Each structure stands twice: as C-alpha cells, then as structure tokens.
Amino acid sequence: MNSYKLGVEVTAAHDLVPKDGEGSASAYVELKFDDQVFRTSTKEKDLNPVWNETYYFNISNPNNLSNLSLEALVYSYSRSTNSKAFLGKVCISGSSFVTQSDAAEFYFPLEKRHIFSRVKGELGLRVFITNNPSIKPSMPPPVMESDSPYGERQQFDDGVVENDFPKREKRSGTRHTFWHLPKQEESMKNSQSKVTPITTSAAKSELQPPKSMQFNAGAPGQAFDYKLKETSPMLGGGRVVGGRVVRSNKPATTYDLVEQMTFLFVRVVKARDLPNMDVTGSLDPYVEVKVGNYKGVTKYFEKKKEPEWNEVFAFSRDRVQASVLDVLVKDKDLVKDDFVGIIRFDLNEIPTRVPPDSPLAPQWYRLEDKKGERSSNGELMLAVWYGTQADEAFSDAWHSDAITPSDMSSSAAAHIRSKVYHSPRLWYLRVNIIEAQDLITSDKGRFPDCYVKGQLGAQILRTKPVQTRMGNPFWNEDLMFVAAEPFDEHLILTIEDRVGPNKEETVGKVSIPLGAVRKRPDDKNFPSQWINLHKPSSDDLEEEKKVKFASKLHARISLDGGYHVLNESTYYSSDLRPSLKQLWKSSIGVLELGILSAEGLHPMKTKDGRGTTDTFCVAKYCQKWVRTRTIIDSLNPKYNEQYTWEVYDPATVLTIGVFDNGHFVGNRDTRIGKVRIRISTLEAGRVYTHSYPLLVLHPSGVKKMGDLHLAIRFSCTNMTNLMFMYAKPLLPKMHYSRPLSLMQTNMLRVHATNVLASRLNRAEPPLNKEVVEYMCDVDAHFWSMRRSKANFYRIISLLQGLIAVSKWFTDVCAWKNSVTTVLVHLLYVMLVCFPELILPTVFLYMLLIGAWNYRFRPKNPPHMDTRISYADNTIPDELDEEFDTFPTSRGSEVVRRRYDRLRSIGAKVQSVLGDVAAQGERAQALLSWRDPRASVIFLTFCFVAAVVLYATPFKVMAFVGGFYAMRHPRFRSKYPATPVNFFRRLPAKTDFML
C-alpha cells in the first residue's frame, strides 16, 4: 500500500513588508506540518521573492488529515544581527487539501500573528496530496556545519529579540534538523545554492494550528458528529480560506459564492408549417430534446400545426456523454408516436453565453428527415447555448441533474424547479365594535342577549355577550384579524342573539370589502362610522331597497400599518419592519447565501428496494422565500445556487431548511433539518463556509440527518446606519404606544402562519403547509419538559459566574493566596478613600476584559447545540410527552384534562425561564464579541464613561442620577430608552437551541 504524502510548492511572494531598515527584506518561508518542518532558501533584498521550491511531508495518519493544518511562516533573515523578523503567516486546514491533478497555485493573503503585527502581501502556494511511489519525502542530507547557525534569534514586531532555537532544545530534550529539497530543474540551474538546516522541537503543541483555523468548532463536550465544521471550498471567486476568498486564475463572476456548473440550455420556442401526419390531416405535435441518455419532452397540442411551447431544458455538462444534440418533433398517437422531423447540433459548435450578455436570440431551423435531408415543410424555432447558474433561464428550466431520464417527461417536473417566492404583506385588521342600535329580534317578549361575530376567511372572533333592555347593546371591544395583500376577502360582521343554550339567531349582517378599509400608520384614532345591517332573510337586492328602516352597528375599522405582523417565533424573526411601506427605513446591507451541497443524508423513502431521498432546500428571510431545485435520488446532492437579500435590521435571522420532496410518493414534504444564521453574528465582508449538521429531534431521540454546506456573506452598505440601529426600538413604535397582549400576540401569530401558508400554497410549485410551519417554528411555544430543563440549566450556567465570584472572595478572606489578598486589601482601601474611582475602575475593567476577549471571539456563526438543548440525554418518557398530541391521547378524560392543564402552565413557565436566561446571556454578549458591532459600541461607551466619570465629581453624578431616576412622568417617554433598545438587540444562546 502506497503511503500518502503532502506536497507543498512555494512559488513566490508579493509586496512584503520591509524589515531590514533599508526598505527591503531577505525573506524565506518556514513550513510546518504533522511535526515536520522545512525551510526554503533565503532571497536577499527582495520584497517580491520567487522560490519555486517543492517539499514533501509524510502523512502519518490520512484518516486524521482533517484535524491537521499546514502552516507557512514568512520571515526576514538578518545576517548582521543573526535574527529573523516575522513577515506573515498562512494557515491551511487539512480539510481543503486536494489531489495533485486538481491542485492549482493560489496567492494567500498573509495573516497577523497577534494584534500588534504589521503584515501585508501575499504568498503563493500549491498544496496537494499524492501517493505516487516514485516521489520520496524530503530527506535531510548530511549535516554541514558551515550552514546557518543553530543559535538563530527571532525578532518580533515589538522589537524584542529572542534566542529561539536553544530554548526549544532545552524544552524537548531532542533536536531534529531538516533541509529543504528544491525542485530538480532548479537545482540543475543553480548548482551553487546552499542547503540550509533548521532546528526545531518535536513538541506537538508547537505545531498545532491556530485557534482561528481549527477544523471543528463545536461546543465543548458536544459529540463530534454534531459539531460545526469549517470548510475551504473552491467557489466561483476562488478558494475560501479563513473567511477570505483567495485569488484564482478564473475571472470573477456574479455567482462567486457557489461552484460554477455548466449547463447546455435548449429553449424550444415554437414551430410552423408542420406537415399533416394523420389521415384526417390533423397533427398533435410535441418536441423531444435528447442528449445521450437524457431527454426532455414538451407538452403536446391537439390538432395544431403552429404550436408555441417556450420551454427550456438544461443538461448538466458533466453528465453529458454524447457529442450530438438531437431535437425531434413528433406527433402524439395512441399506439406509437410518429416521427415528424429532427434537428441535430454538434456540441462542439454550440456558443457559450456569459451574463450580463443579452439572451441568445432564437432562430428558425428547417426540419430534416431520418436520412438527414431537409424536409420540404416544417420549421422549429430554437436557441441553444452553454451557460451557468447565473443564466436567467436557469430557474425555469428542467434540469437533467435534478431528475432521472425516465421522469423527465412526467408531470412531476413542474415540482422540482427552483423558484423565488415573495410572501404577501400581512396587516393587522382592527375592528373596534362600539355599540349597536335598533336591534329587532323575533321574540319581542324577552331582552336580547347579543354578541358580534367577525369573520375574515377562516378566522372567526366574537365579542362578549351583552344583554340589554332597549335593544342598544354596548361592547367597545377590539377584534384583531390578520389580512394579506391583495385584499381579495371580505370582512363579515354578524350580530347574533342567544335565544337558548345551544340556539342562536342572526339579527343583522354586513359584508365589508377590505379594499375600502382605511390604513392607519400610527395610534391616532379617526372618526368611527355607523354601518347599516342587512336582515339575514332578505337576500334579494330589490327587497333590501324597499326597507326604509335598518339596524345599525357603530364600529371603527382600520388596517393598522404601524405594526409588524409576527408570523414566526419572536426570537427567530427574519423581518421587523411595519406593514405600511412608507414607514420602512433604508437597507443597511446585503446578505448573500450560497447553497452548495449536502452530504450523508439519510434515506427518506424506498425505491426499487433501496433507500433514496429527493431533496430540496428552502431559505427564508424578510418577505423573500427561495426554493432550490429538487435533486432526485441522491444522498449527496449538489445545488450550487446563490441568492441575495437586502438587510434592514441586524437582529434578524436567516433560516435554511432541507426537505424531502413528497410529490413523488404522496403529497407531503418531509423535514430533514434546518439551519439558522443570525445576521448580527456575521462580520461584514467575511465569507463563512461551513458544514452544518442537520439535527432533528425524533421520538427516539436526537438524530443527525446529514450535513449542509453553505457559503454566507454579509456586506454592509452603510456602517453609520448599522451602528445607529442598535439604539432604535426593536419593533415598530406601534407595538409600544398601543401594545398587544400576550394572548393576542400568540393568537395572531397562529392566524398569520395559516394565512401565509395558504397563500404560498397557491404558487407553482407550491410550498406546502408543513414546510411553512417548520420554517416559521410554529411548535416553538408548545410545552416540552426537555425545553424547560434546557432553560433551567441555562439559568444555572449564568449563576455559575456569581458562584465563582463568591468562591473567589471566600478564598481571599481565607488568605489562601497571600499576594492576592494583600492586593485586594490595597484596592479596597483606595476605593474607600477615593470613592469617585469606583465606577471608572469598573468600566475600565470591563473595557480590558472585552479587549482581552477579542482574541477568543467566535469565528463561526452559532448553530444548534444538542447539549444546551438538553437533547442528548432526555429520557424516552419526556420525548413521548413532547411528541404527544395536544390534547393528550395517552389516558382517560380526567388524566387528559389534568395533563393538558399542566402542559399549559408549564409552557408559560418555560417561556419565562427562556426570557430570563436570554436577558442574562445578552449581558454576557456585551463583552464576548458574539455580535462584533455591539461589542465595539459597548467598549467605546465604557471608555467614554470611564473618562467622564473620572472627570466628574462623584457627588454630582449621584445627584444627577438620583433625580433623573425619580423624574416626573411628564418627562418620561413611552418608548424604550436607548440602552434598553441596545440590550434587546444583543444575541443570546437561543441561537443554539434545537
């Protein structure tokens, strides 16, 4: 068995930092991999050195390659001082290594070693894996004492010169010497080049990759399969390394977050002058497009000689195993379809279209017979070209990589295309029922007991019943509905009279079109109106005109555009804008998502005795929903589709779900898993390429359904507006000036989800209700013992900090560490003597903690954590309770009532625990750099506060602060204060909740 080796070709470097004091540098590269170190030759006085030297490392364990990394450090060597200065480094994760045939030269931007490093320039490397037995690993030749001395010193950016290598010898006890082995052609040209030894330790801690390039980024203690993994894919803009796109030789494209895929597009437009085929002179034409084993079939027209199809077919170039494209026109028949004509294209002669070029104009082509001779009549208009996902025809095409050859002509093809959906704009419809007059009931001898019933579509609400002697009941109640544009439904108001225990009588009825309802931008009331009620028995319009007296309803009806209609879980909201478009603010950035591929998916159905999956992805943000094409019969599908959204608020969440298409077996789409990305946790301009585990909770426990590969980039268009967003209210002002109750909010959320699901279900292809409900987290507020335990342990985790401080103070009092105790006593004396230093010291201390935590800031977006969700050790009885129906079906009627009451109370306690935990976690997020922009704002405030509090007398601050806290209500605003708005926008560990 051949041993695997890692080949590293160091080509050149560009624009290095001068370090020798003379405007130049003598650069060399030090390569570290798997406890092995090599060093290139030194290029004297050159800021753009060229090496073209190749080295081969032994790979001790190929199965552990993804946990290793290659580190290339660039130094400048000074012969006069016998020291080296750091110029930059490059870290490449083992998960991004490719074979030698796929390897290409890339120029990696040099990274800093610490925050004070001064680095610029690029380093060209070509990295590959090979098992060629003729290639031997680089071996050290005999030691030559005339080479560079062992006592080499290292000069850091702060000017400190350290004797590096002797310390390593002393630390490890052993010494290994390696030499570089240049390429054979270079050694023939430059036979006088010296071989330079380098001495280093074999200690494994010296060769570990830095924290920013760790392959696994999951939480401590979490199973490996459930962790988030950083990848370095080759995308359209180049290879992504450490969040930055490394330059490649390919030209830049608009689809730079996905791997470019080439398709053969065939647009069949129409035909003319087709010949007669049947005895009756009729023709039922359709077109069959065939490339190798793949074929696409258009719909057929009955008895039409000049049909128009305008259908597009896309064949993946990688799967095309032919050199000829056949376009056949056929006549539909009951037994066997008749041949009408054919057009053949040589695939080598087909042009390539690259957007933004204009679409290729279709042309008329004369049909040929089976012998290749032109027919006397019959022409077909076609357009044939090579394109990519950036082509406008991509979303409307039938894709050969997304459907099997046998299914291309089936009706299921319409349900596998990629589509973009714009969800309808939702409004809150407020119906303020004030009173009614002149109600006439059938029974004159009793007092009417009336209520008003409002109905909008499937939504039905009622007021409280009111009994009156005069027939003029008074309610003054609000009924809240959810309406969706376009307003094609009518609001139906009915006054019902309860004449018996289970008997009701309709007193009056009115139907109001929503298009005539006034839109209200704020909480200011406008005049109410009296509405004539119609008798339920008088359906004839002529009879209604004869009636001169009618009952009336006094009401105030409005579409409240100042609210944001919550149709998803509050913490996972993707949009916080009000319904009225005139109240929208300008966007603050652009969010780009590349859905690359999925790996290791579980089979969701059985086909021909084997497990298979037909998957598609759905992404939701703001009002834009996107759906990728369905990849048929693949457990490792590749989508490579890119989408873009405008961002209006950083405290929003992008949701991506993976589903199994149920159109082929039944009509229900099965959930596979989903990923949430909070925008505030993304650094502007960085490309996040990760493999997200798809985790789903089943009655048997948590289960990993596969991995989803994504590429995400947030680009900020206006940093000033983005920073100001942290001081603004999270929701529109109407939520604070006229707030809705918790019960109203939960009820309206259910109605909004149902309205949204019904509207998206009308699209083609439809988004089924189960897809919309899963993306909107409709079950997030249901009772779950597991979630309650998870929220409880989140609170316990927050209290651990206070417990640690208490234990530390106990140790101080116990004099366990004399030095620490003396310092605490001195600090206490200083603060008692100078109380004005207390607050500046606290803010300065938080400033230092935040600056120190910058080194350990999260490099990856948050993802679901099975340990925080308490899903990895939940007992089966709790899972059975969580997946039980509501109401329960596990016992008798008495047990059911008690059980449901317990779950209802438990759900409220669960929400309260989650909210309390979120507040504490938001306080932790101030200094943890989970939201980098919020941390910058808070640290800036700490610095300003420390300076102001230092310069202002403490008594003055206490005087002003006390009077400000006790100020008159006239001087208070009904909107939240700026610190409260800032605090509510901070992320919490709810992002990790499953």
Tell me the pLDDT tens digit for each residue of 171-180: 333 333 333 3
Alpha-carbon span 166 to 168, nearest angstrom: 5
Average pLDDT over residues 950-967: 75
Given a contact cutoff of 8 angstroms between Cβ atoms, the answer to whether 287 and 339 are in contact is no
Q: 810-823, pLDDT tens digit by residue?
A: 788 778 888 888 88
Average pLDDT over residues 635-654: 92
pLDDT at 67 over 90: no
Looking at residue 869, the DSSP 8-state letter turns out to be T
Residue 220: burial class (beta carbons within 10 Å; 0-12, 13-18, 19+): exposed
Alpha-carbon span 385 to 314, nearest angstrom: 10
Q: In what order do the strands lie in the sheet with 615-621?
A: 419-422, 624-627, 615-621, 653-660, 670-678
pLDDT number for residue 99: 84
Structure tokens at 329: 């026109």
Which of 131-145, 201-215, 738-752 has maximum average pLDDT?
738-752
Phi, psi of 771 (to 5 degrees): -70, -45
pLDDT at 44 over 80: yes
SS3 659: strand
Given a contact cutoff of 8 angstroms between Cβ atoms, the answer to whether 517 and 558 are in contact is yes
Tell me how long the chain is: 994
The per-residue DSSP string of 574-639 comes to S----SSGGGPPPP-EEEEEEEEEEESPPP-EEETTEEE--EEEEEEETTEEEEPPPBPS-SS-EE
Q: Per mean pLDDT, which range of 215-224, 505-514, 854-863 is the poorest?
A: 215-224
Average pLDDT over residues 497-513: 85
Which of 203-207, 355-359, 607-611, 634-638 has maximum average pLDDT?
634-638
Residue appearing with tokens 């800032």: 982
pLDDT at 209 over 60: no
pLDDT number for residue 247: 65
pLDDT number for residue 46: 87
Q: Answer left, alpha or beta for residue 548, where phi above 0 means left and psi between -120 and 50 means alpha.
A: alpha
pLDDT number for residue 868: 82
Greatest distance between any 2 Cα atoms in the chain: 122
SS3 757: helix
3-state secondary structure 55-104: EEEECCCHHHHHHCEEEEEEEEEECCCCEEEEEEEEEEEHHHCCECCCCC
Distances (CA, A) of 239 to 232, 259, 438: 6, 10, 77
Q: How confident is the model at residue 15 (pLDDT cuts 50, 70, 90)?
A: confident
Q: What number of other Cβ atoms are within 10 A of residue 668's Cβ?
A: 13
Q: 69-87, pLDDT tens digit by residue?
A: 899 999 998 887 788 889 9
Q: Is the peptide bond before 197 cis (omega within 30 degrees of 0)?
A: no
Alpha-carbon span 480 to 491, nearest angstrom: 12
Instruction: Give the list of residues 6+ apart from residue 829 with CB closer than 8 angstroms, or none.
Output: none
Q: 559-610, pLDDT tens digit by residue?
A: 999 999 998 888 889 999 999 999 999 999 999 999 999 998 988 888 777 8
pLDDT number for residue 652: 94
Given a contact cutoff of 8 angstroms between Cβ atoms, the answer to whether 340 and 331 are in contact is yes
Q: What number of other Cβ atoms are within 10 A of residue 891's Cβ?
A: 11
pLDDT at 217 over 80: no
Average pLDDT, the chain: 81
pLDDT number for residue 459: 93
Pairing, β 610-612 against β 605-607: antiparallel
Secondary structure element (H or E) that encloses residue 826, with its range: helix 818-833
Q: How confident is the model at residue 680 (pLDDT cuts 50, 70, 90)?
A: very high
pLDDT at 865 over 70: yes
The per-residue DSSP string of 248-299 comes to -SSPP-S--SS----EEEEEEEEEESPPP-STTS---EEEEEEETTEEEE--
pLDDT number for residue 706: 92
Q: 242-287, pLDDT tens digit by residue?
A: 778 776 555 556 678 888 888 899 999 999 888 877 766 678 889 9
pLDDT number for residue 185: 39
Pairing, β 308-316 against β 398-399: parallel
* Residue 7 CB-half CA count within 13 A: 24
Distances (CA, A) of 215 to 65, 93, 139, 604, 834: 10, 7, 29, 29, 50
Top pLDDT among 251 and 799 is at 799
Top pLDDT among 159 and 824 is at 824
pLDDT at 410 over 80: no
Q: Residue 985's closest CA among 902, 925, 906, 901?
A: 925
Structure tokens at 971: 């001087």
Alpha-carbon span 247 to 238, nearest angstrom: 5
pLDDT at 611 over 80: yes
Q: Which amino acid, residue 677?
A: I
Average pLDDT over residues 183-201: 36
pLDDT at 991 over 90: no
Given a contact cutoff of 8 angstroms between Cβ atoms, the answer to whether 314 and 264 are in contact is yes
pLDDT number for residue 878: 74
Alpha-carbon span 812 to 821, nearest angstrom: 5
Q: 101-113, pLDDT tens digit by residue?
A: 778 888 888 988 8
pLDDT at 491 over 90: yes
pLDDT at 519 over 60: yes
Alpha-carbon span 531 to 429, nearest angstrom: 17
Distances (CA, A) of 978 to 33, 588, 739, 867: 51, 19, 19, 34
Q: What is the CA radius of gyration of the chain?
A: 36
Q: Which residues of 652-666 are buried (b: 16+ CB within 10 A; e: fewer)?
A: bbbbbbbbbbbbbee
pLDDT number for residue 212: 31
Given a contact cutoff of 8 angstroms between Cβ atoms, the answer to whether 532 and 522 are in contact is no
Q: What's the distance, CA 962 to chain centroid? A: 45
pLDDT number for residue 269: 92
Q: Is the peptide bond before 356 cis (omega within 30 degrees of 0)?
A: yes
pLDDT at 187 over 50: no
Top pLDDT among 525 and 539 is at 525
Q: How confident is the model at residue 778 (pLDDT cuts 50, 70, 90)?
A: confident
Structure tokens at 297: 């079939």
The per-residue DSSP string of 150-208 comes to S--EEE-TTS-EEEHHHHHHHHHS--EEEE----HHHHHH-TTPPP-EEEE---GGGGS
pLDDT at 451 over 50: yes
pLDDT number for residue 589: 93
Structure tokens at 733: 């002002």
Q: How confident is the model at residue 754 (pLDDT cuts 50, 70, 90)?
A: very high
Q: 300-354, pLDDT tens digit by residue?
A: 888 788 889 888 998 888 878 788 999 999 888 877 888 888 999 988 888 888 7
As a whole-number percent, the residues of the chain with pLDDT over 70 amount to 85
Q: Residue 19's closest CA among 90, 108, 120, 110?
A: 120
Alpha-carbon span 410 to 664, nearest angstrom: 10
Structure tokens at 510: 């009115």
pLDDT at 710 over 70: yes
Q: How confident is the model at residue 168 (pLDDT cuts 50, 70, 90)?
A: very low
Residue appearing with tokens 């089976």: 370
